[in-house]
Amino acid sequence: MCEFAAHFVHGFCDKDKDKLVRKEDLFPLLIQFLQSEDPQYKIGFENYLFDLCDVDENKALDITEFLHLMNCLEIFESQKGQSKNLTTMMALFRAIDSDGNASLSAEEITKALDKLPNDSSVNDEIKAAVKKIKEYCGLLGGREINEMEFLGIVIPPSDFQQYNQQVFSSLFEKGDTDHSGMISVKELKMLFKQMYPDGVDERKAPEIIIKLLDETGKGEIDKNQFATFACAVAGNDVTIRCLTKTRFYEAIFKILDSDKSGLLERDETTKLLKSMGFNEKKIAKWFEKIGEEPLTLNKFLEIYLKK
C-alpha cells in the first residue's frame, strides 16, 4: 500500500476524527492481508501486530504508527508465493523494529515479549519465536540483530534457504553495477565490502570464485552462480561479517563436491587449482606433494589453510 493510500485508509477508519485508529474500526480491512484460513490465527496475529505498532500504548494508532503497521502487512502482498511461516516472521520482525532501523535491540525484543498475550490468540510458533529471540539476544552483549539473523533463528532451514535465495538475488542486482546480468571480479570485490564489512581473509577470493564458477570463460558469473557461492558460505549461520579463510574454503569444498560424497576426487581438486592459476606442471607437482587419495573436508582445510 502506497503512503497516499495508507493516509486515506487511516482517515477512513478514524471514526472519531481524533487522528487515531482503533482495532475495531481497522480489523475488517486487514483480514485480506493475512494468508491463513484460520480466523483465530488472523485475529490473534492482527491484535499482536497492532499492539507492537502501538508504541505509545494508547490502544490506537496515529498516522506514524499506522504506516508502521501497513509496512508490516505489505509483506503478505509483496512475498506472495513464499511460505506462510516465512512471511509471518518477516512481518513480525518489522513490527518489533519500532524505530525502523532494520535491526532489533534488546529493548525492542523485551517489549515484544511483554506484549505477547497469555491466552491462545497468538499461535505457539509466534510465541516460541519471540522467546527464542529474547534468549538469543541475551547472549550478544547488547549487539542488535538484523532481519537475516532473526529469520535464521526462528524459521526452519528450508524456509531460510528460500529467504537466502531472495536476499542473494537482491545483492546480485546491487553488485551488477553495469546491469549486464553478470558480475565481474571488480564488481564482486565491491560487493564483498557490503556482504562482509569486517573483511575477507583470502585476498584472491573474488578471482578464485569467478574462475571456479565461470562457465563462459569471460571472467564473469551470473545470478545463479553467485547464489551457489553465497549459499555455500552462509549455510545456516547468519552472523557472518568476516569471510575467514576457513569459511571460504569450506564453501569451496561444498561447491567442488558436486556428488555430495563428502570427498574431493582428483578432478574436483584440479578444478580448484586451475581457478587459482596453477598450470598443468604445477598441478602435477601439487598432487605429488599431497597424494592421489580423495580429500575429506578436514584434510582439504589442513592443506589449503597452510597454502
- Give the model confidence (pLDDT) of 58-71 as tens digits: 999 999 999 999 99
pLDDT classification of 38: cutoffs 50, 70, 90: very low
pLDDT tens figures, 227-239: 888 888 876 555 5
**How far is it, in rounded angstroms, from Cα 38 to Cα 44?**
10
Residue 183: strand, helix, or coil: strand
DSSP E strand stretches across 73-143: 103-104
| CATH number of the 3-155 domain | 1.10.238
Q: Do 3-155 and 162-304 have matching folds? A: yes
Q: pLDDT tens-digit profile of 75-98?
A: 887 877 778 888 899 999 999 999
Q: Which CATH entry fits the domain spanning 162-304: 1.10.10.10, 3.40.50.1820, 1.10.260.40, 1.10.238.10?
A: 1.10.238.10
How far apart are the C-alpha atoms of 288 and 280, rounded to whole Å? 12
Residue type, 1: M
Domain residue spans in the chain? 3-155, 162-304
Q: Quick: pLDDT tens for 244-290.
A: 999 999 999 999 998 888 899 999 999 989 888 899 999 999 998 88
Taking Cα atoms as reference points, which of 83, 95, 229, 264 lies closest to residue 163?
83
Distances (CA, A) of 266 to 97, 298, 303: 50, 16, 14
**Confidence at 43, pLDDT banded by 50, 70, 90:** low
What gap in Å lies between CA 95 and CA 290, rounded to an integer?
54
Strand pairing report for 220-221 and 145-146 = unpaired
pLDDT, position 40 = 43
In a 10 Å sphere around its CB, with 0-12 CB exposed, 13-18 middle and 19+ buried, how is residue 254 labelled?
Answer: middle
State the Cα–Cα distance between residues 43 and 78, nearest whole angstrom.
21
**Would the pLDDT of 195 be above 80?**
yes
Nearest to 257 by CA among 225, 211, 294: 294
Extract the C-alpha cell encoding 262.
563428502
290 to 47, 254, 301: CA distances (angstroms): 63, 20, 12
Q: How far apart are CA 53 and CA 96, in angstroms?
A: 8
Residues in the chain, how many?
307
